[in-house]
Amino acid sequence: MEIQTSGKPIDMLMEKVLCMNILSSDYFKELYRMKTYHEVIDEIYNQVDHVEPWMTGNCRGPSTAFCLLYKFFTMKLTVKQMHGLLKHPDSPYIRAIGFLYLRYVADPKILWTWYEPYLKDDEEFSPGSNGRMTTMGVYVRDLILGQYYFDSILPRVPVPVVRQVTTNLEKMKLPTKLSGVTGDSRHGSEDTARRPPSVKASLSVSFGQRAPHRASTRDSSPVRRTVTQDDHRRSSSPFRRSVSREGPYNDRSSHDREGNRSSRDRDTDRSSRDRDTDHSSRDQKA
Protein backbone atom coordinates (compact mmCIF):
# COMPACT_ATOMS: atom_id res chain seq x y z
CA MET A 1 0.00 0.00 0.00
CA GLU A 2 1.36 3.40 -1.01
CA ILE A 3 1.70 6.25 1.47
CA GLN A 4 -1.21 8.69 1.54
CA THR A 5 0.09 11.79 -0.24
CA SER A 6 -1.03 15.38 -0.64
CA GLY A 7 -1.82 14.66 -4.29
CA LYS A 8 0.50 17.38 -5.57
CA PRO A 9 3.37 16.64 -7.97
CA ILE A 10 6.81 16.88 -6.46
CA ASP A 11 7.79 19.87 -8.62
CA MET A 12 5.09 21.82 -6.79
CA LEU A 13 6.27 20.63 -3.37
CA MET A 14 10.00 21.17 -3.76
CA GLU A 15 11.62 24.50 -4.61
CA LYS A 16 11.98 24.86 -8.37
CA VAL A 17 15.67 25.78 -8.24
CA LEU A 18 16.48 22.71 -6.17
CA CYS A 19 14.26 20.44 -8.25
CA MET A 20 15.82 21.56 -11.54
CA ASN A 21 19.34 21.12 -10.21
CA ILE A 22 18.60 17.59 -9.06
CA LEU A 23 17.02 16.52 -12.35
CA SER A 24 19.88 17.90 -14.42
CA SER A 25 22.75 16.68 -12.25
CA ASP A 26 24.99 13.94 -13.59
CA TYR A 27 24.90 12.13 -10.27
CA PHE A 28 21.10 11.86 -10.31
CA LYS A 29 21.23 10.55 -13.87
CA GLU A 30 23.61 7.83 -12.71
CA LEU A 31 20.94 6.73 -10.23
CA TYR A 32 18.72 5.62 -13.14
CA ARG A 33 20.55 2.30 -13.03
CA MET A 34 19.21 1.65 -9.54
CA LYS A 35 15.96 -0.25 -9.77
CA THR A 36 15.31 -1.37 -6.21
CA TYR A 37 14.61 0.22 -2.86
CA HIS A 38 17.50 -1.66 -1.26
CA GLU A 39 20.03 -0.38 -3.81
CA VAL A 40 19.13 3.20 -2.89
CA ILE A 41 19.44 2.42 0.82
CA ASP A 42 22.92 1.01 0.24
CA GLU A 43 23.90 4.16 -1.66
CA ILE A 44 22.69 6.33 1.23
CA TYR A 45 24.68 4.25 3.68
CA ASN A 46 27.87 4.54 1.61
CA GLN A 47 27.68 8.13 0.37
CA VAL A 48 25.59 10.38 2.62
CA ASP A 49 27.15 12.26 5.54
CA HIS A 50 24.62 15.10 5.90
CA VAL A 51 21.05 15.81 4.82
CA GLU A 52 21.25 19.44 3.76
CA PRO A 53 19.71 20.14 0.35
CA TRP A 54 22.83 21.71 -1.16
CA MET A 55 26.43 20.60 -1.41
CA THR A 56 28.98 21.96 1.03
CA GLY A 57 32.32 23.75 0.74
CA ASN A 58 33.21 25.44 -2.55
CA CYS A 59 30.91 23.21 -4.58
CA ARG A 60 27.51 24.18 -5.92
CA GLY A 61 24.52 22.00 -6.65
CA PRO A 62 22.17 19.53 -4.98
CA SER A 63 23.52 17.28 -2.27
CA THR A 64 23.91 13.54 -2.62
CA ALA A 65 21.22 13.09 0.04
CA PHE A 66 18.62 15.08 -1.89
CA CYS A 67 19.43 13.35 -5.17
CA LEU A 68 18.76 10.05 -3.42
CA LEU A 69 15.64 11.46 -1.77
CA TYR A 70 14.34 12.42 -5.21
CA LYS A 71 15.15 8.92 -6.43
CA PHE A 72 12.78 7.63 -3.74
CA PHE A 73 10.13 10.10 -4.97
CA THR A 74 10.26 8.44 -8.38
CA MET A 75 9.80 5.01 -6.76
CA LYS A 76 6.66 5.97 -4.78
CA LEU A 77 7.44 4.15 -1.56
CA THR A 78 4.96 1.91 0.19
CA VAL A 79 3.98 2.06 3.86
CA LYS A 80 6.08 -1.04 4.55
CA GLN A 81 9.14 0.46 2.84
CA MET A 82 8.74 3.70 4.81
CA HIS A 83 8.67 1.83 8.11
CA GLY A 84 11.85 0.11 6.95
CA LEU A 85 13.54 3.50 6.45
CA LEU A 86 12.38 5.07 9.72
CA LYS A 87 13.53 2.10 11.80
CA HIS A 88 16.72 1.34 9.90
CA PRO A 89 19.53 0.45 12.34
CA ASP A 90 22.56 1.06 10.11
CA SER A 91 22.61 4.83 9.56
CA PRO A 92 20.72 7.84 10.95
CA TYR A 93 20.88 9.39 7.48
CA ILE A 94 18.75 6.59 6.06
CA ARG A 95 16.18 7.42 8.72
CA ALA A 96 16.46 11.17 8.16
CA ILE A 97 15.81 10.79 4.43
CA GLY A 98 12.72 8.77 5.32
CA PHE A 99 11.41 11.61 7.50
CA LEU A 100 12.20 14.10 4.72
CA TYR A 101 10.28 11.97 2.23
CA LEU A 102 7.21 12.14 4.45
CA ARG A 103 7.58 15.88 5.02
CA TYR A 104 7.57 16.54 1.29
CA VAL A 105 5.12 13.95 -0.01
CA ALA A 106 2.74 12.82 2.73
CA ASP A 107 -0.64 14.40 3.36
CA PRO A 108 0.01 16.95 6.16
CA LYS A 109 -2.94 15.51 8.09
CA ILE A 110 -1.11 12.21 8.60
CA LEU A 111 2.32 13.63 9.46
CA TRP A 112 1.67 13.44 13.18
CA THR A 113 0.74 9.75 12.90
CA TRP A 114 4.07 9.03 11.25
CA TYR A 115 6.23 11.32 13.38
CA GLU A 116 4.79 10.88 16.87
CA PRO A 117 6.54 7.56 17.70
CA TYR A 118 9.94 9.18 17.03
CA LEU A 119 9.61 12.54 18.80
CA LYS A 120 11.62 11.27 21.79
CA ASP A 121 14.10 9.24 19.75
CA ASP A 122 17.54 9.82 21.27
CA GLU A 123 19.79 8.64 18.42
CA GLU A 124 22.38 11.35 17.86
CA PHE A 125 23.58 12.57 14.48
CA SER A 126 24.51 15.74 12.61
CA PRO A 127 21.89 16.68 9.98
CA GLY A 128 24.02 19.57 8.69
CA SER A 129 27.53 19.70 7.32
CA ASN A 130 28.72 21.84 10.25
CA GLY A 131 28.92 18.89 12.62
CA ARG A 132 26.32 20.25 15.05
CA MET A 133 24.84 17.26 16.84
CA THR A 134 21.21 16.74 17.73
CA THR A 135 18.86 13.85 18.38
CA MET A 136 16.54 12.29 15.85
CA GLY A 137 13.57 13.36 17.99
CA VAL A 138 14.56 17.03 17.86
CA TYR A 139 15.18 16.76 14.12
CA VAL A 140 11.72 15.27 13.54
CA ARG A 141 10.09 17.96 15.68
CA ASP A 142 11.80 20.71 13.68
CA LEU A 143 10.65 19.12 10.43
CA ILE A 144 7.00 19.15 11.40
CA LEU A 145 7.05 22.62 13.00
CA GLY A 146 9.20 24.49 10.50
CA GLN A 147 8.75 25.68 6.96
CA TYR A 148 12.44 26.39 6.32
CA TYR A 149 15.00 23.63 5.98
CA PHE A 150 18.57 24.89 5.79
CA ASP A 151 18.70 26.79 2.46
CA SER A 152 15.35 25.58 1.18
CA ILE A 153 11.61 25.83 1.83
CA LEU A 154 9.45 22.88 2.84
CA PRO A 155 5.83 22.42 1.76
CA ARG A 156 3.43 24.50 3.81
CA VAL A 157 1.62 22.72 6.63
CA PRO A 158 -1.95 24.07 7.08
CA VAL A 159 -2.46 26.23 10.17
CA PRO A 160 -5.07 23.89 11.76
CA VAL A 161 -2.59 21.01 11.49
CA VAL A 162 0.18 23.09 13.07
CA ARG A 163 -2.14 24.04 15.93
CA GLN A 164 -3.01 20.41 16.55
CA VAL A 165 0.66 19.42 16.45
CA THR A 166 1.49 22.16 18.97
CA THR A 167 -1.29 20.97 21.28
CA ASN A 168 -0.05 17.39 21.03
CA LEU A 169 3.53 18.43 21.79
CA GLU A 170 2.37 20.33 24.87
CA LYS A 171 0.57 17.22 26.10
CA MET A 172 3.82 15.28 25.66
CA LYS A 173 5.66 18.05 27.55
CA LEU A 174 7.91 18.68 24.56
CA PRO A 175 9.07 22.08 23.25
CA THR A 176 6.81 23.75 20.70
CA LYS A 177 9.51 26.04 19.34
CA LEU A 178 12.10 25.22 16.70
CA SER A 179 15.52 24.18 17.96
CA GLY A 180 17.17 25.80 14.93
CA VAL A 181 19.20 22.73 14.07
CA THR A 182 17.80 22.74 10.53
CA GLY A 183 17.72 26.53 10.16
CA ASP A 184 14.74 28.52 11.45
CA SER A 185 14.72 30.86 8.43
CA ARG A 186 16.06 31.15 4.90
CA HIS A 187 19.36 32.26 6.44
CA GLY A 188 19.25 29.82 9.34
CA SER A 189 22.14 27.65 8.26
CA GLU A 190 25.72 28.76 8.60
CA ASP A 191 26.59 28.34 4.94
CA THR A 192 23.92 29.56 2.54
CA ALA A 193 26.26 30.80 -0.19
CA ARG A 194 26.08 27.55 -2.15
CA ARG A 195 22.41 27.98 -2.98
CA PRO A 196 21.85 29.31 -6.52
CA PRO A 197 19.87 32.55 -6.29
CA SER A 198 17.38 31.87 -9.06
CA VAL A 199 16.08 29.41 -11.61
CA LYS A 200 18.11 31.14 -14.31
CA ALA A 201 21.28 30.84 -12.26
CA SER A 202 20.53 27.20 -11.57
CA LEU A 203 20.85 26.39 -15.25
CA SER A 204 24.49 27.46 -15.22
CA VAL A 205 25.04 25.58 -11.98
CA SER A 206 23.63 22.23 -12.90
CA PHE A 207 24.87 21.18 -16.32
CA GLY A 208 27.92 19.01 -16.84
CA GLN A 209 28.84 18.54 -13.20
CA ARG A 210 28.77 15.54 -10.93
CA ALA A 211 27.90 15.31 -7.25
CA PRO A 212 29.55 15.18 -4.80
CA HIS A 213 32.76 16.60 -6.33
CA ARG A 214 31.42 19.33 -8.57
CA ALA A 215 33.50 22.41 -9.21
CA SER A 216 32.32 25.83 -8.25
CA THR A 217 30.15 27.40 -10.92
CA ARG A 218 29.19 30.65 -9.30
CA ASP A 219 32.20 32.23 -11.01
CA SER A 220 30.80 31.15 -14.37
CA SER A 221 27.51 32.88 -13.84
CA PRO A 222 26.90 36.02 -15.89
CA VAL A 223 28.10 39.14 -14.12
CA ARG A 224 25.50 41.83 -13.94
CA ARG A 225 26.66 45.39 -13.51
CA THR A 226 24.84 47.17 -10.74
CA VAL A 227 23.76 50.71 -11.56
CA THR A 228 24.90 53.04 -8.83
CA GLN A 229 23.26 56.24 -7.69
CA ASP A 230 26.09 58.22 -9.31
CA ASP A 231 25.42 56.48 -12.61
CA HIS A 232 21.76 57.30 -12.28
CA ARG A 233 22.47 60.94 -11.49
CA ARG A 234 24.84 61.22 -14.44
CA SER A 235 22.39 59.61 -16.83
CA SER A 236 19.44 61.66 -15.60
CA SER A 237 21.23 65.03 -15.37
CA PRO A 238 19.42 67.60 -17.58
CA PHE A 239 22.75 69.31 -18.21
CA ARG A 240 24.25 66.15 -19.68
CA ARG A 241 21.17 65.55 -21.77
CA SER A 242 21.42 69.06 -23.21
CA VAL A 243 25.08 68.50 -24.07
CA SER A 244 24.62 65.07 -25.62
CA ARG A 245 21.33 65.66 -27.40
CA GLU A 246 21.31 69.38 -28.16
CA GLY A 247 25.03 70.15 -28.45
CA PRO A 248 25.47 69.16 -32.10
CA TYR A 249 22.42 71.12 -33.12
CA ASN A 250 23.62 74.18 -31.19
CA ASP A 251 26.97 73.99 -32.96
CA ARG A 252 25.32 73.63 -36.33
CA SER A 253 23.06 76.61 -35.63
CA SER A 254 26.07 78.70 -34.63
CA HIS A 255 27.82 77.84 -37.89
CA ASP A 256 24.69 78.70 -39.84
CA ARG A 257 24.39 82.06 -38.10
CA GLU A 258 28.06 82.83 -38.78
CA GLY A 259 27.59 81.87 -42.41
CA ASN A 260 24.55 84.09 -42.75
CA ARG A 261 26.48 87.03 -41.30
CA SER A 262 29.36 86.47 -43.74
CA SER A 263 26.92 86.31 -46.66
CA ARG A 264 25.25 89.53 -45.59
CA ASP A 265 28.65 91.24 -45.21
CA ARG A 266 29.68 90.10 -48.71
CA ASP A 267 26.41 91.34 -50.17
CA THR A 268 26.87 94.70 -48.44
CA ASP A 269 30.44 95.05 -49.79
CA ARG A 270 29.29 94.14 -53.30
CA SER A 271 26.48 96.70 -53.18
CA SER A 272 28.92 99.38 -51.99
CA ARG A 273 31.33 98.59 -54.84
CA ASP A 274 28.51 98.71 -57.37
CA ARG A 275 27.39 102.13 -56.13
CA ASP A 276 30.97 103.43 -56.28
CA THR A 277 31.28 102.21 -59.87
CA ASP A 278 28.03 103.91 -60.87
CA HIS A 279 29.18 107.21 -59.38
CA SER A 280 32.53 107.03 -61.23
CA SER A 281 30.78 106.39 -64.55
CA ARG A 282 28.51 109.40 -64.11
CA ASP A 283 31.47 111.64 -63.25
CA GLN A 284 33.34 110.62 -66.42
CA LYS A 285 30.31 111.32 -68.62
CA ALA A 286 29.84 114.67 -67.04
Q: Tell me, yes or no, whether 81 and 214 share the same domain.
A: yes
Max CA separation in the chain (angstroms): 139
Residue-range definition of the domain harbouring residue 180: 10-220
Same domain? 116 vs 245: no
235 and 95 inside one domain? no
Using the CB atoms, write b or e for 145-163: b if 16+ within 10 Å.
bbebbbbbebbebeeebbe
- Domain-embedded: residue 2: no
Q: Do residues 42 and 101 share a domain?
A: yes
CA atoms within 13 A on the CB side of 25: 31
Do residue 247 and residue 124 come from a single domain? Answer: no
Q: How many domains does the chain have?
A: 2
* Same-domain pairing of 26 and 109: yes
Spell out the per-residue pLDDT of the chain, length 286, in tens.
889 999 999 999 999 999 999 999 999 999 999 999 999 999 999 999 999 999 987 677 999 999 999 999 999 999 999 999 999 999 999 999 999 999 999 999 999 999 999 999 999 999 999 999 999 999 999 999 999 999 899 999 999 999 999 999 999 999 999 999 997 554 444 444 455 554 444 444 444 444 454 433 333 333 334 444 554 444 444 434 433 344 444 444 445 555 555 555 555 555 555 555 554 544 444 4
Asked if residue 4 is part of any domain, the answer here is no
Do 109 and 240 have their domain in common?
no
Asked whether residue 67 falls in the same domain as residue 33, the answer is yes
